[in-house]
Amino acid sequence: MKVHVSLKRVIDDSHDIFIDEYPVDGIGAYLSGSSAVRKYLIFTDTNVMEHYGGRLTENLRANGLDVPEPVVIPAGEQSKSNYMAFEKWRELVRKGAARDSSLIAIGGGVVTDLGGFIASSYMRGIPPIYVLTTLMAMVDAGIGGKTGFDLPEGKNLVGAFYQPKAIFIDTGTLKTLPEREFRSGSAEAIKYGLISDAGMLQFLEEHIDEFLALDKDVVGHVVNRSCEIKAGFVSKDEKEKSGLRALLNYGHTFGHPLEAATGYSRFTHGEAVSIGMVQAAELSRRCGYLDAESVGRQNELLARAGLPVKLPADIRTEDLMRCMKTDKKSAGGKKRFVILHSMGDAVVQDGIDDVLVEEVIDSTRAH
Which of these is catalytic: 88, 146, 155, 335?
A: 146
Which of these is catalytic: 8, 124, 175, 241?
A: 124
Which of these is catalytic: 252, 285, 329, 336?
A: 252
Catalytic residue check, 256: yes
Which of these is catalytic: 269, 285, 335, 336?
A: 269
CA-based radius of gyration for the chain: 21
Which of these is catalytic: 39, 249, 271, 336?
A: 249
Catalytic residue check, 245: yes
Terminal C-alpha separation, the chain: 68
> Of the candidates 146, 161, 152, which has an alpha carbon nearest to the alpha carbon of residue 83?
152
How big is the chain, counted in residues?
A: 367
Question: Residues 212, 214, 216, 219: is their CA dihedral positive or negative?
Answer: positive
Which of these is catalytic: 155, 191, 225, 256?
A: 256
Catalytic residue check, 252: yes
Catalytic residue check, 124: yes
Which of these is catalytic: 245, 285, 335, 336?
A: 245
Catalytic residue check, 230: yes
Catalytic residue check, 367: no
Taking the CB of residue 282, how many other CB atoms lie within 10 A of it? 22
- Distance from C-alpha of 123 to C-alpha of 131, rounded to nearest angstrom: 22
Which of these is catalytic: 77, 91, 240, 282?
A: 240
The secondary structure of the chain, three-state, reads: CCCCCCCCCCCCCCCEEEECCCCHHHHHHHHCCCCCCCEEEEEEEHHHHHHHHHHHHHHHHHCCCCCCCCEEECCCHHHCCHHHHHHHHHHHHHCCCCCCEEEEEEECHHHHHHHHHHHHHHHHCCCEEEEECCHHHHHHHCCCCEEEEEECCEEEEEEEECCCCEEEECHHHHHHCCHHHHHHHHHHHHHHHHHCCHHHHHHHHHHHHHHHCCCHHHHHHHHHHHHHHHHHHHHHCCCCCCCCHHHHHCCHHHHHHHHHHCCCCCCCHHHHHHHHHHHHHHHHHHCCCCCHHHHHHHHHHHHHCCCCCCECCCCCHHHHHHHHHHCCCCECCECEEEEEEECCEEEEEECCCHHHHHHHHHHCECC
Which of these is catalytic: 80, 230, 329, 336?
A: 230
Q: Which residues are identified as catalytic? A: 124, 146, 188, 230, 240, 245, 249, 252, 256, 269
